[in-house]
Amino acid sequence: MYKKISIIGCGSWGMSIANHLSDKALVTIYHYRLDFLQRLKKTRLYTGSYSLKIPNNINFMDKYDNSSDLCIISTPVQFIRETLKRCNLSEDSDVLILSKGIERNTLSFPCEIVSDVANLSLDSIAILSGPNHAEQVVKNNPTSAVVASKNQQLSKKIQSLFSDENFRVYCSDDIIGVQLGGAVKNVISIASGIAWGLGFRENTLSSILTRGLYEIKKLGDSLGARKETLNGLAGLGDLMATSFSDDSRNRYVGIQIAKGNKIDQVLKKLNMNAEGVETSRSLYKLKSKLNIDLPICDSVYEIIFSNKDPLDTIGSLMTRKLKNEF
């Protein structure tokens, strides 16, 4: 079992995982902002989307120490590459990724980014995903997740580390499916938020989520993901959680856009990362590369980056050429 764990990233999800693991191992959090770390050290209080009294066996550092036997990456996907260039990950350390998204320039998923930058084999990398809002994990709400890796032994080690009476982890070897589900659901969540912000309710949201899941599976089929993975915690489960919850940043973004707010203003007020915004840009490029049709994901991209009217865009979705459901 792991004795020394480092976490790169001090956002709400990284902090909640640090808290979850703090009675199982020595946890050290790395973050680049020294002033932020000094405040946490002094107050021992984390305040973000939730408040948390920081356990005494969580330490903080502004320079990465690669002596841990498990490195957990909780950095927004678009900053993983830049962040890891400042770190020197040990070849002897296992790596667990919590980040969800697709890198906008390379169209790489998190495992590929980490493997590339840190020159690590995929056998030493795992990804954890599922319907897991940090705000609910710190309250010990019963939570389930799935850990995926090409290395079954690594998956089982992570499963054992995380699982307790409040947090249950399942294993998978479908790293593509787990990463894909975690990325695309954020874009569909923005779509659901837009519909909600426009005043539409269950009829509309259910349609968006069902057809959104179809788009996730269509993309998954092109990339080699398994449909059962996308029907599971990392796909359908995560999609439901982020599309219905008030704790969802991406849903919040969609609601605010529907109210007429510009994306820059929304993100500034949110003051936290909403992965679905940049992932919509990545998906727009990826679907063109693969020559597949993703109308809901395309609509989110066009509303955010081409200033399309949200109400008109939903009208366009409803009046597309009629077809069979599958």
Query: Of 135, 151, 253, 196, nearest to 159 (Cα)?
Result: 151
Cα gap 228→47, rounded to integer Å: 37
Among 185, 218, 285, 323, the one annotated catalytic: 185
Residue with tokens 């200033």: 307
**Measured CA distances, 302 to 26, 136, 182, 230, 257 (Å):** 45, 32, 21, 25, 12
Q: Is 200 exposed, middle or buried (0-12, 13-18, 19+ CB in 10 A)?
A: middle
Residue 68: φ, ψ to 5°:
-75, 160
DSSP label at 151?
-
Beta-carbon contacts of residue 61 (< 8 Å; ≥ 6 apart): 28, 29, 30, 37
Checking DSSP bridges between strand 4-8 and strand 70-73, what pairing results, if any?
Answer: parallel
Confirm whether 4 is a catalytic residue.
Answer: no
The two structure tokens encoding residue 39: 């405040």
Residue with tokens 């049709």: 293
Cα gap 260→244, rounded to integer Å: 21
- 7's torsion region: left (phi>0), alpha (psi -120 to 50) or beta? beta
Starting at the earlier edge strand, list the strands of the sheet with 70-73: 58-61, 26-30, 4-8, 70-73, 94-97, 125-129, 143-148, 167-172
Please identify every residue annotated as catalytic: 185
